[in-house]
Each structure stands twice: as structure tokens, then as C-alpha cells.
């Protein structure tokens, strides 16, 4: 399983929180690449919903990861 920014971007509009099956269904209906569906199928399913993309890909970059000061603009 591997994630890239491009692949993870297909899950930004997912209906969080969501179960593994709901995320797979969402990615298929939204036309995400096959790699996204394959990555989701490899996730462990403990029956608990995923709250956000960071629970799937802990290294997902957030706004804090970018080095710019929004107050300056």
C-alpha cells in the first residue's frame, strides 16, 4: 500500500467519518483511480469508522506542514 498526495486527494471530500466499505464505495462512485481502491482494500477493518484521512495515511500533509504565514497575505 502506498499513498501519494494525488491519490489521497480523491478522499478529501469523503463523508468522514466513514467505514472501510463506505470509503471504497465513495472512491468507486467518485471515479478515483484503481490504486485508491486497492489501497483502501488493504486497510485493516476493525469495525470502527475512520475519522479523517490522517487515520489512513498518518503522514498526510496538513496546512501546518507548509511554511508560509497567512497573516502576511
Which among 7, 5, 17 has a CA at the least distance from the CA of 42?
Answer: 7
pLDDT by residue for the chain (73 residues), tens digit each?
A: 889 889 999 998 999 999 999 999 999 999 999 999 999 999 988 889 999 999 998 888 765 555 556 565 5
Using the structure block, give the residue that is written with the C-alpha cell 487515520.
55
Check if the beta carbon of residue 27 is closer than 8 Å to that of residue 10.
Answer: yes
pTM to 2 decimals?
0.81
Amino acid at each position: 500500500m502506498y499513498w501519494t498526495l494525488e491519490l489521497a486527494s480523491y478522499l478529501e471530500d469523503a463523508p468522514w467519518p466513514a467505514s472501510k466499505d463506505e470509503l471504497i464505495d465513495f472512491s468507486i462512485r467518485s471515479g478515483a483511480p484503481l490504486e485508491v481502491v486497492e489501497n483502501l482494500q488493504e486497510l485493516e477493518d476493525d469495525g470502527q469508522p475512520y475519522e479523517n484521512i490522517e487515520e489512513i495515511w498518518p503522514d498526510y500533509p496538513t496546512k501546518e506542514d507548509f511554511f508560509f504565514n497567512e497573516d502576511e497575505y
